[in-house]
Structure 1
Amino acid sequence: MMEIDSRIPVTIVTGYLGAGKTTFLNHILNQTEEKVALIVNEFGDIGIDAQLIEQTTEEIIEINSGCICCNVRKDIVDTLSILAISREEKMIEFDRIIIETTGLADPAPVVQTFLMDKEMVEDYYIDAVCTLVDARHISNHLDQQGEAINQIAFADVILVNKVDLITQDQLTDLRNRLESINPTASQKICENSRIPLGDVLDIRSFDLQEKIKVNPDFLNNHHHHHDDEISSLSLREERPLDMKKLNLWLSFLVQVQGERLYRYKGVLNIDGVDHRFVFQGVHMLFAGEEAALWGDDDRVSELVFIGRNLDKKSLTEQFEQCIMS
């Protein structure tokens, strides 16, 4: 019998300025039957986005005077703690948290909050990181190598919005570029930020163990050549891995290259272990655990790294050193 996860799902909505995040939030709030607690982060002292959210019965909490990924990170932890306590004591009711970051936010510290804080891990889980992109203008933002490219690198779902403003050839080129940056994210095409809710809610896209149950081959992508500083590397190996060597390598990796590693995840075949070993990391923080039994499935290790200026040759060679001799 499957154990029911009583934790609160969290959807993180990010995207560069003007991508359509507020319109997307209004779409969700108008369509969902869930009760949502919405946390809106704005960079200035005056909150505008919360005023643009259409009137609902939802809880709306503003965090202003800074970016949620920087100096107000403590504020979001405090806010989430209060919400969890209030929900437990029946003071308020909600089924889901949605966090909208400012268009200038790096999603990494927000994601890390739910991986490193014990209280957050006990009360919440990340359902998905949804990144909206403005199909007409995103290429210029990507060329600048700024926040927009980081937001795409961290996405579990990329919503390619405003596709009615570009040609089919431009859309094809854009989708190829987005895939080269983040091959494991699913891409959804939309106009006016409208998307079936089933594509973005309750998909447990950030939960690698759950994701491989649905699609065991989702890591099986082998793109290696990219033009952007942010790129991905996929590694696949059928021979079993040495757990001791693997631990030493990953520990070394996060210490030396952690700041350049935006997201990394994998399903590994460990020598002498009958269970899959599932791990994922964000910058210098990573965690792993035993998952489902291999059973009759092919025992294959698959890893994906997404980061800035990846030394793909070195990473590949270091990974090969972890293969059982």
Structure 2
Amino acid sequence: MTETRLPVTLLTGFLGAGKSTLLNKILAQPEKEKIAVIVNEFGEVGLDHDLIAAMDEEVVLLSSGCLCCSIRDDLSKTLADLMERRARGILDFDRVVIETTGLADPAPIRQTLLKDYYLASTIHMDGVVTLVDASNGKATLDAQFEAVSQAATADLLLMSKTDITPPKATSALQRRLEKLNPTAEILKVVDAVADPQRLWGLSALRRGAEATQALNWLTRAPSETPPTDPLRNLSGFAPTKLLRRFSPHDARIESASITLKEPLEDAVFDHWLDTLVALKGPDLLRVKGIVFLKGLKTPFVFHGVQHIFDRPEPLTNWPEGDTTSRIVVIARDMTNPELQRSLDMLRATAAPKQEEVFPGWKDLNAQQHV
């Protein structure tokens, strides 16, 4: 089965990171694909008037074939209206980019798209792209936890303003981003402008995804990070002490992963996921993986943010003989031992009790229901 739903990309990044500048450069290129961009206001994008072919109260049409519209009532209504006008032949576009505000958390936007039945059946999340200002990135990450969260939730990290930033500072920022987000590819904005296709197809959670796409989605490409870097070990990532060299904000983000060679019991996997979401849901920035369950011929890809999960997609093109499950969790305000203890549940042959995984879970539950 091939993907027929329209791809949607979230473009995020803290104030001044260069989201609008990147959009203008992408929209100015004569691409084969036509892009629909959704922003808060037309004026915030600062579209080059030479690019505008036509304009009405709701939509700006560009000479490149792309279009731009502002959020009117709310995002879901705006997106649904665009999709309906596309279905009637009034508008023509091949993908959607949603530019968030500088302080926005991508999680609620993902949840909006998943909860709307019409949108969930007509679009799919293609990836989250986060811009980080190389010049001011260190200061922003130190001062703003929102910027740290944006970096940790990305599928692709783009460093802007590297042309005016000393190479040593740029390299230090990249190392910091690698520790905050062990799975995202990191590029310079100039690389993305030179090849816009690198912005698309980031998520493996789509119909007909290939095995290599799914694996790349779970771990950074080998050429990006030296083999000796602990982040390259999918069963461990970086220990907490590496993060504490930076800001206290960084120490609030932890990553852990696990690889299991044998297929999992479905009851064990369900119990692990239900327990993790019930007790730590608000703090789950990303939970994703490739999972083999006993009794199934092929693995499936799953992905969730907080307590909302995309519909799992089967990997029908998976190589025969490989039954390895690979799971990655990126969370805030959870210790690495907590994450590892949670993942250890998946090694069980039967579902363990919750108190064996999260000591004091009864107290947490009591607090949540007060």
TM range (shorter): 0.7 to 0.9
**Secondary structure, in 3 states, of the residue corresponding to 2:3?**
coil
Cα distance in structure 2, aligned partners of 1:206 and 1:49? 31
State the 1:148 CA deviation: 0.9
- Whether the aligned pair in 2 keeps the contact of 1:161 and 1:190 (CA below 8 Å) is yes
- Summarize deviations over 1:198-242 as a string: whole Å, max 9, x none: 2113x2436267264435365353423223112321222223322
Q: Percent identity?
A: 35
Note if 1:258 corresponds to 2:281. yes
Quick check: 7-16 or 269-278, which moved more?
269-278
Give RMSD over aligned pairs.
2.4
Which residue of 2 is the match for residue 136 of structure 1? 135
Tell me if structure 1 keeps the 8 A contact 2:184–2:217.
no
**1:290-318 Cα deviation digits (max 9, x unpaired):** 43365434321211111212232233223
Give 1:223's aligned residue: 237
The 8 Å contact of residues 283 and 332 in structure 2, kept in 1 or not, is answered as yes
- CA displacement at 1:192 relative to structure 2: 10
What does residue 358 of structure 2 align with? Answer: none
Other-structure match for 1:11:
9
1:183-262 equivalence runs, <5 A: 183-191=182-190, 194-201=193-200, 203-205=201-203, 207=205, 210=209, 212-214=211-213, 216=215, 218-220=217-219, 221=234, 222-225=236-239, 226-227=243-244, 228=250, 229-262=252-285
Does residue 301 (structure 1) correspond to residue 322 (structure 2)? The answer is no
- Could you tell me which residue of structure 2 aligns to residue 67 of structure 1? none
Hey, what's the Cα distance between the residues in 1 that align with 2:283 and 2:197?
Answer: 32
List aligned pairs for 1:177-188, cutoff 5 A.
177-188=176-187
What are the residue-to-residue correspondences of 1:55-70 with 2, within 5 Å?
A: 55-56=51-52, 57=62, 58-63=66-71
1:104 maps to what in 2?
103
The amino acid of 1:113's aligned partner reads: T
Partner of 1:286: 309
Q: Which amino acid aligns with 1:40?
A: V
Name whichever of 171-180 and 306-315 sits farther off.
306-315
Any idea what the Cα deviations from partners look like across 1:17-67, whole Å, max 9, x if unmatched? 11111110011111123322211125xxxx531444553324322237xxx
Task: Confirm or deny: 8 A CA contact 2:285 2:331 kept in the other structure.
Answer: yes
Q: How far did residue 112 of structure 1 move?
A: 1.9
Residues 159 and 190, structure 1, Cα contact 8 Å, conserved in 2: yes
1:230/1:94 CA distance change after superposition, 3 Å: same
Structure 1 Cα separation of the partners of residues 316 and 117 of structure 2:
24
TM-score w.r.t. structure 2 length?
Answer: 0.76
TM-score normalised per structure 1:
0.86
- Return the alpha-carbon distance in structure 1 between the equivalents of residues 34 and 75 of structure 2: 19
Runs of at least 5 residues in structure 2 that lack an aligned partner in the other structure:
53-61, 220-233, 245-249, 350-370
Q: Which has the higher helix share?
A: 2
1:128-167 correspondence to structure 2 within 5 Å? 128-167=127-166
- The amino acid across from 1:10 in the alignment is V
The 8 Å contact of residues 156 and 206 in structure 1, kept in 2 or not, is answered as: no
State the match for 1:69 in structure 2.
none
- Aligned-partner Cα distance in 2 for 1:214–1:321: 27
CA distance in 2, matches of 1:5, 1:208: 6
